[in-house]
Structure 1
Amino acid sequence: MNLPGGAEPYDRAMVTKPVLLDVPVPAQIDASGSREVKISSPDRVLWPDDGITKLELAQYVAAVGDRFLAAVGDRPVTLQRFPEGIAGEEFYSKNPPRGVPAYARSVTVTYPSGRRHPQLVIDEIATAVWAVQMNTITFHPWPVRTANLDNPDELRIDLDPQPGRAFADVVEAAHALREVMTEAGLHPYVKTSGNRGVHVFARIEPDHEFLDVRHGVIAIARELERRLPDLVTTAWWKEQRGERIFVDFNQACRDRTLASAYSPRPLPGAPVSMPVTWEQLGDISPGDFTVRTVPDLVADTPDPWAEMATPGQVGPLQPALEWWDRDVADGLGELNFPPDYPKMPGEPRRVQPSRAKH
């Protein structure tokens, strides 16, 4: 693998001081230069079982830069940080970390509680490499653009397999979900989650706020559940899910995010959340895509999400909202919100079913 900035493959015995990576500056900012990003403690091991260091992670992010930037660019981003590697303490950084470079941007976002504060925006890959310097492993972009922070332009669905289900089961559910979303006028794209599940994305017109998008996701999830009741569930409480695949509708809530495309995950093997084509989905294993394998795959294969942002791939939310209205008329109403949310109108009791019986 060719490493950015002319760096040689990592040799731990050689790296004892901070390393400077040269990261190209996007043409729309400055077509003539690059930025130097200092990586301190470059030999810090982030994935202990695999020996992957902070320097190697920074080089990975630079190597997949253009595709990664297409996924996270112009969006508020939450950083999942691991100061001592994946075996140590982790925390989610919503405010930009101290020492943010002058070329980085932030926007002020509003949270469910009504609290507001700045959040980092990644306009160029040097900002992402700097975030790695701050021990970021996973990047969690919001489904909004900075020009309109209240109306999502992406509909995202997380298929989360419960214990007892294999990846092949998730693939079956994902293809059925593709059919449902297509019937709703959407154009779905798929990626591995970096763990056991998959994420399905579709671009939408940014003319509805978060609650509407959540209702559209619930309506799509319920339609999928009707078609595959033994495989898929919308049950919020784990005790009701059994071995089915949970459609996590609450990932559509404000301040809820999924790992970005091409983002590493804090799991053994250093897996990456990897976009694939629908045709590839049944032939791959999530373990195929890691910090060490993905750069060469990106260099050698076309981008499966290349058309995602084109105007013809942006779909309407309205058909899914019509399904929501139909279900409400049939007696299917609101579902539970995340526990840190204020009690929402129409929400069921926040009590586990087994406890409610008593």
Structure 2
Amino acid sequence: MKLTHAERVVDARSGATKGDVARYYEDVAPLLLPQLRGRPVALLRAPEGVGESTFFQKHAGKTAWPGLRELDPALWPGHEALLEVTTRQALRGAVQMNTLEFHSWNARSANLGKPDRLVLDLDPGEGVAWQAIREAAGLVRDLLLELSLRSWLKTSGGAGLHLIVPLAARWSVDTVRSLSAAIVQRLADEHPQRLVAKSGAANRVGRIYVDWLRNGEGATAVAAYSLRARPGLGVAMPIGWEELPSVSGAAHWTLANAREHLAARSTAPWADLAAHKQSLAAALQALA
């Protein structure tokens, strides 16, 4: 698909153009596509650029493009066909249609009812310093380890951090959702001055909401290496836990510097994530 209006500025803060976005996704495709393949996706489209109206697209409707794959509607009864982005051609088409963000399900298309990831999103309220967010990530990691669950980390590219817990796809989405809610409630009970389990801006002033709702049916989380439709075009960047102290914020990496960082990186922090198909048995028993 030909890219039109490549010169159009999509982010006033950085001056980045639609062409810059296309080049970024072309360059990171070898890293991004493995995060998207085999999973339904939701595309955040920004026709007028950052700061203007955006919308999520989960179904092709009348705006399908070459390379975009429509899944069998029978996989999610009662809903329109979901989408997969599996090729560079599909990425290019998405950018042509003004997509800035790529979000994916926590379950694979072939087994939508059994998630293979649990995601916890640290969403800071007003007045929360970055250092507090880093410390909160450690608190969440430590509780997960107590529950025999190892977690991987990424910057959100927006305001907080995401912890990803890879799972064996054996438990229902309702079980995973209920477990994530119980984990977050325990965190909030143990650290009430820092963490909160209830959504809403008023509930997290000076505290961090640990968002567990991304584990519900049909919920998505921003994919690793995706841009964010926010001023500066931050990147959701996988990092190792040992890197966290040197990270200055959730948008430490942006479209402007992410590729340089990736080129200089000697190891991939998520290289072994897919190999860890963790059991929930111990966590379910401990939190029963």
Alignment TM-score, normalising by the size of structure 2: 0.93
Structure 1: runs of 5+ lacking an equivalent? 1-36, 326-358
User: 2:207 corresponds to which residue?
Assistant: 244
**Aligned Cα root-mean-square deviation (Å):** 2.0
Distance 1:169 1:125 in 2: 38
AA aligned opposite 1:303: A
TM-superposition CA deviations, 1:170-219 (whole Å, max 9, x none) = 11010111111122222200011111110000110111121111111112
Once the two structures are overlaid, the 10-residue window that deviates more, 88-97 or 132-141, is 88-97
The answer as to 2:230 corresponding to 1:270 is: no
SS at match of 1:255: coil
User: 1:178 corresponds to which residue?
Assistant: 141
AA aligned opposite 1:305: W
The answer as to 2:99 corresponding to 1:130 is: no
SS at match of 1:169: helix
AA aligned opposite 2:59: N
Distance 1:102 1:111 in 2: 22
Distance 1:210 1:162, change over 3 A: same
Distance 2:187 2:151 in 1: 14
AA aligned opposite 2:48: E
TM-superposition CA deviations, 1:294-329 (whole Å, max 9, x none) = 11211220211111111xx2211222322442xxxx
User: 2:152 corresponds to which residue?
Assistant: 189
Q: Residue 216 of structure 1 is aligned with which of 152, 155, 179?
A: 179
Q: Does the CA-based 8 Å contact 1:155-1:252 persist in structure 2?
A: yes
Q: Does the CA-based 8 Å contact 2:124-2:204 persist in structure 1?
A: no
User: 2:263 corresponds to which residue?
Assistant: 299
> 1:1-358 alignment to 2 at 5 Å?
37-96=1-60, 98=62, 100-108=64-72, 115-285=78-248, 286-301=250-265, 302-310=267-275, 313-325=276-288
- Report how far residue 70 of structure 1 moved: 2.1
- Report how far residue 287 of structure 1 moved: 3.4
- Report how far residue 97 of structure 1 moved: 5.6
- Report how far residue 232 of structure 1 moved: 0.9
Distance 2:50 2:74 in 1: 29
SS at match of 1:243: coil
Distance 2:254 2:23 in 1: 13
Q: Does the CA-based 8 Å contact 2:102-2:226 persist in structure 1?
A: yes
Distance 2:194 2:261 in 1: 32
Q: Does the CA-based 8 Å contact 1:170-1:245 persist in structure 2?
A: yes
Higher percent of residues as helix: 2
SS at match of 1:78: strand
Structure 2: runs of 5+ lacking an equivalent? none
Q: Does the CA-based 8 Å contact 2:67-2:89 persist in structure 1?
A: no
TM-superposition CA deviations, 1:34-59 (whole Å, max 9, x none) = xxx42111112111222111111011
- Report how far residue 253 of structure 1 moved: 1.0
Q: Does the CA-based 8 Å contact 1:80-1:136 persist in structure 2?
A: yes
Distance 1:183 1:146, change over 3 A: same
Alignment TM-score, normalising by the size of structure 1: 0.75
SS at match of 2:285: helix
- Report how far residue 280 of structure 1 moved: 0.7
TM-superposition CA deviations, 1:99-155 (whole Å, max 9, x none) = 53444322146899x631112212123312211111000111011111111111111
Distance 2:50 2:144 in 1: 35
Larger relative contact order, structure 1 or 2 (CA cutoff 8 Å, min sep 6) = 2
Distance 2:15 2:75 in 1: 37
Q: Does the CA-based 8 Å contact 1:110-1:117 persist in structure 2?
A: no
Once the two structures are overlaid, the 10-residue window that deviates more, 230-239 or 85-94, is 230-239
